[in-house]
Amino acid sequence: MSHIVHDLIARGDARIVDHPADAPVRHQVEGDRNFGLPTALYGATIACYLGFLVIVGSAFANPVLAIPMAIIVLLIVAAFGVPAIWTRLKDNSSEPETLGEFETRGIMTNTGRLTARDATTQVLILPVLLVCWGLAVAVIAAIVA
């Protein structure tokens, strides 16, 4: 990219102008702190993670597990709460997509555009499998006991 600009300047095809004095300062990188997914997907992910903890916590109810479960809940809240606060900072001009916008446009990834169905599958596959695993472990523990 810099070679093209230098070639244009060398040929005299480019104009170099001063920055207007009344123009606002613009940073090189825009402050888009949105992750491109609707809030409902994050809510479903949180619900699956907390659902797993409820399933496992109730299947293996023991007072000794209270502190580790509380720590894990705090980590989940922090893992999703900090980015949620981050997207609401003052310089963030973007809004999370609604479900309708997400279904219409999908999301752009490094490997190309994904439809809403494909992106939802990729986002929720691990949390849903985690809940299924927790249910399987709880059923096995109930059968064995």
Q: For position 4, what pLDDT does the model report?
A: 64
CA distance 32 to 60: 43
pLDDT 10s digits, 26-61: 666 665 667 778 889 999 999 999 999 999 999 998
CA distance 55 to 35: 29
- What tokens does 21 get? 């004095």
- What tokens does 37 get? 């997914």
In a domain, 48, yes or no: yes
In a domain, 90, yes or no: yes
Q: Residue 2 pLDDT more than 60?
A: no
Give the model's confidence band at 98: pLDDT under 50 very low, under 70 low, under 90 confident, else very high: confident
Q: What is the mean pLDDT of residues 69-96?
A: 86
In a domain, 76, yes or no: yes
Number of domains making up the chain: 1
Q: Residue 134 pLDDT more than 60?
A: yes
Q: For position 27, what pLDDT does the model report?
A: 63
In a domain, 12, yes or no: no
Q: Which domain holds residue 81?
A: 32-144
In a domain, 25, yes or no: no
Q: Is residue 56 classed exposed, middle or buried when 0-12, 13-18 and 19+ CB atoms within 10 A define those classes?
A: buried
Residue 122: how many CA atoms within 13 Å on its side-chain side? 10
Task: Tell me the whole-structure pTM to 2 decimals.
Answer: 0.74
In a domain, 53, yes or no: yes
In a domain, 22, yes or no: no
Give the model's confidence band at 125: pLDDT under 50 very low, under 70 low, under 90 confident, else very high: very high
Q: For position 1, what pLDDT does the model report?
A: 46
In a domain, 88, yes or no: yes
- Residue 36 — left, alpha, or beta (φ > 0 → left; ψ -120 to 50 → alpha)? left
- What tokens does 39 get? 């809030």
